[in-house]
């Protein structure tokens, strides 16, 4: 699919971009350029803080419209009142969405032009958060995020990486092309590809699980969640209603996907079963096989030369889903193996009574858990298919092709 095809859903869309006051405001200029390239009409409103970083004139030059900066500009109000502007928009995008702006949006404040526009519009809202990673991880921000998500706000990013203050962590504004792609795939815009999963409910698990040993330590694994997220994105793009149950990862929620964040295997188990019934379950998460028998309330102190952990098996979510009475059309598992890939994968296919298992070899230099690309082989009762090394986003599309084939087999 060419770049133009991917964003063609944006052609003719009227987008209102609200720019918040963060250093990432400069990236919003590039966002305007890309949205217009995709054929959208863009008007821009800025908070007072945003104007400390970028001038309204820069946005005006790129959008071709007067940039709105205040509620109290009688000239601009006469040309198009703010209520009219809020009504004009097919979609409102807030980028960067600072912690303060997210809080004001979550609480329905209307104390400046941007928050007033967001409250006055009935158009769907997309936010792209950007802030210091500690502000992002603060319980207050996470609670505001949950409120906004529950209200149906599409959230793009933030990404993980170096931040302006020389620190690193989740808080970087998603790249303009990621925001454009998320908008292009957002519900309410024209679908951009085959809708061969339309009407189906799909539950996907992704990422690692963390099993807490004490308040500061946990048992985890190196799963990045990229494969599961790519599968969820691909399925949503093709018309499925997707619930993504995600372990602790810092990845943007794919467009059109309902995300449930969990930490432990037990929480993932509960979230998966809460998301059923479904037509398809895809277990892409690297679920911990063992968890501490007793959660320890206080930090474990070092006292002796060795320490034995008392661990118990976690519920096998995949096997339980496959065994339950509500008949799913297809249950897909994953197997990460270091050796004898085909043999172990086929054993799991049978033991867990799966319809399909996707195996990949881990422990090799290129590919596997943390990589952006991978090679894998899918096995089913009387067949198999190998997927050559490719970016995980492509592999996800190819795997969904196979899933559609197996559904219709």
Q: Give the catalytic positions in this structure.
A: 221
Nearest CB to ligand CTP, comparing residues 195 and 340: 340
Task: Tell the smallest beta-carbon distance from residue 354 to ligand CTP (Å).
Answer: 8
Nearest CB to ligand CTP, comparing residues 239 and 248: 248
The residues that bridge with 45 in the sheet, in sequence order, are 18, 68
**How many residues interact with ligand CTP (rule CB under 6 A)?**
15
Residue of 295, 17, 399 whose CA lies nearest to 183: 17
Task: Tell the smallest beta-carbon distance from residue 372 to ligand CTP (Å).
Answer: 20
Question: Any alpha helices (H) in 168-258, and if so which ranges?
Answer: 176-184, 226-237
Site string for ligand CTP, 250-269 (x = CB under 6 A): ---------------x----
| The pair of three-digit structure tokens given for residue 145, joined into one six-digit string | 């995020």
**Three-state DSSP class for residue 341:** helix
On whether the CB atoms of residues 294 and 310 are closer than 8 A, the answer is: yes
Nearest CB to ligand CTP, comparing residues 20 and 283: 283
Nearest CB to ligand CTP, comparing residues 193 and 220: 220
Task: Tell the smallest beta-carbon distance from residue 273 to ligand CTP (Å).
Answer: 11
Task: Tell the smallest beta-carbon distance from residue 244 to ligand CTP (Å).
Answer: 13
On whether the CB atoms of residues 170 and 198 are closer than 8 A, the answer is: no
Site string for ligand CTP, 331-350 (x = CB under 6 A): --xxxx-----------x--
Give the number of other CB atoms < 10 A from CB of residue 308.
6
Site string for ligand CTP, 277-296 (x = CB under 6 A): ------x-x-x-x-------
Task: Tell the smallest beta-carbon distance from residue 350 to ligand CTP (Å).
Answer: 12
Nearest CB to ligand CTP, comparing residues 6 and 348: 348
On whether the CB atoms of residues 357 and 348 are closer than 8 A, the answer is: yes
Residue of 330, 329, 327, 332 whose CA lies nearest to 317: 332
Task: Tell the smallest beta-carbon distance from residue 232 to ligand CTP (Å).
Answer: 14
Site string for ligand CTP, 195-224 (x = CB under 6 A): ----------x-------------------
**Per the omega criterion (within 30 degrees of 0), is the bond before 96 cis?**
yes
Nearest CB to ligand CTP, comparing residues 123 and 336: 336
Nearest CB to ligand CTP, comparing residues 121 and 205: 205
Please name the residue that has the structure tokens 């808080």: 171
Using the contact rule CB under 6 A, the part of the chain among 109-117, 143-151, 309-317, 395-403 near ligand CTP is 309-317
**Number of residues assigned to the chain:** 409
In order, the DSSP letters of 52-107 are GTS-HHHHHHHHSSPPB--TT-HHHHHHS-HHHHHHH-SEEEEEEE-HHHHHHHHT
| The pair of three-digit structure tokens given for residue 203, joined into one six-digit string | 């539950």
On whether the CB atoms of residues 181 and 197 are closer than 8 A, the answer is: no
Site string for ligand CTP, 158-197 (x = CB under 6 A): ----------------------------------------
Using the contact rule CB under 6 A, the part of the chain among 4-12, 122-130, 231-239, 328-336 near ligand CTP is 328-336
Nearest CB to ligand CTP, comparing residues 103 and 402: 402
**Three-state DSSP class for residue 208:** strand
CB-based burial, 30-40: b 16+ in 10 Å, e otherwise: ebbebbbebeb
| The pair of three-digit structure tokens given for residue 365, joined into one six-digit string | 């230099």
Give the one residue of 253, 291, 314, 360 binding ligand CTP; rule: CB under 6 A: 314
Name the DSSP class of 311.
Answer: E
Rg for the chain (alpha carbons), in Å?
23
How would you classify the pairing of strands 241-246 and 201-206?
Answer: parallel
Cα–Cα distance, 174 to 269 (Å, whole number): 30
Position 316 contacts ligand CTP (CB under 6 A): yes
Site string for ligand CTP, 57-86 (x = CB under 6 A): ------------------------------
Give the number of other CB atoms < 10 A from CB of residue 393.
16
Task: Tell the smallest beta-carbon distance from residue 363 to ligand CTP (Å).
Answer: 12
On whether the CB atoms of residues 268 and 245 are closer than 8 A, the answer is: yes
Give the one residue of 202, 242, 318, 359 binding ligand CTP; rule: CB under 6 A: 318
Interaction with ligand CTP in 369-398: which residues (CB under 6 A)? none
On whether the CB atoms of residues 253 and 259 are closer than 8 A, the answer is: yes
Task: Tell the smallest beta-carbon distance from residue 229 to ligand CTP (Å).
Answer: 14
Interface with ligand CTP (CB under 6 A):
205, 265, 283, 285, 287, 289, 314, 316-318, 333-336, 348
């Amino acid at each position: 699919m060419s770049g133009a095809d991917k964003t063609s859903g944006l052609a003719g869309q009227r987008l209102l971009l609200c720019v918040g006051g963060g250093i990432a405001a400069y990236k919003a200029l590039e966002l305007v350029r890309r949205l217009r390239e995709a054929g959208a009409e863009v008007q821009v409103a800025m908070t007072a803080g945003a104007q400390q970083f970028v001038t309204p004139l820069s946005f005006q030059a790129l959008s071709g419209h007067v940039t709105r900066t205040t509620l109290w500009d009688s000239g601009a109000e006469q040309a198009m009142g703010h209520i009219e502007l809020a009504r004009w928009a097919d979609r409102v995008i807030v980028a960067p969405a600072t912690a303060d702006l997210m809080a004001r949006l979550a609480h329905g404040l209307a104390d400046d032009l941007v928050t007033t526009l967001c409250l006055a519009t009935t158009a769907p809202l997309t936010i792209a958060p950007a802030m210091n990673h500690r502000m992002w991880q603060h319980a207050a921000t996470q609670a505001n995020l949950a409120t906004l998500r529950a209200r149906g706000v599409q959230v793009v990013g933030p990404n993980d990486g170096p931040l302006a203050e020389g620190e690193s962590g989740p808080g970087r504004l998603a790249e303009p092309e990621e925001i454009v792609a998320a908008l292009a795939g957002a519900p309410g815009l024209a679908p951009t590809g085959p809708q061969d999963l339309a009407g189906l409910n799909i539950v996907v698990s992704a990422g690692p699980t963390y099993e807490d040993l004490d308040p500061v330590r946990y048992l985890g694994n190196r799963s990045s969640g990229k494969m599961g997220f790519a599968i969820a994105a691909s399925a949503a793009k093709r018309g499925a209603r997707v619930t993504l149950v995600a372990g602790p990862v810092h990845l943007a929620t794919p467009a059109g996907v309902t995300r449930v964040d969990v930490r432990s295997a037990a929480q993932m188990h509960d979230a998966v079963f809460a998301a059923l019934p479904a037509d398809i379950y895809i277990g892409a998460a690297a679920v911990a096989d063992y968890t501490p028998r007793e959660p320890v309330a206080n930090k474990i102190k070092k006292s002796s030369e060795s320490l034995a952990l008392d661990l118990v098996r976690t519920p096998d979510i995949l096997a339980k889903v496959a065994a339950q009475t509500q008949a799913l059309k297809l249950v897909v598992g994953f197997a990460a193996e270091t050796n004898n890939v085909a043999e172990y994968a086929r054993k799991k296919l049978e033991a867990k009574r799966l319809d399909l298992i996707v195996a990949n070899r881990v422990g090799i230099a290129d590919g596997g858990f943390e990589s952006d690309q991978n090679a894998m082989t899918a096995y089913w009762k009387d067949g198999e298919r190998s997927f050559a090394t490719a970016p995980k986003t492509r592999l996800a599309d190819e795997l969904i092709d196979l899933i559609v084939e197996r559904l219709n087999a």
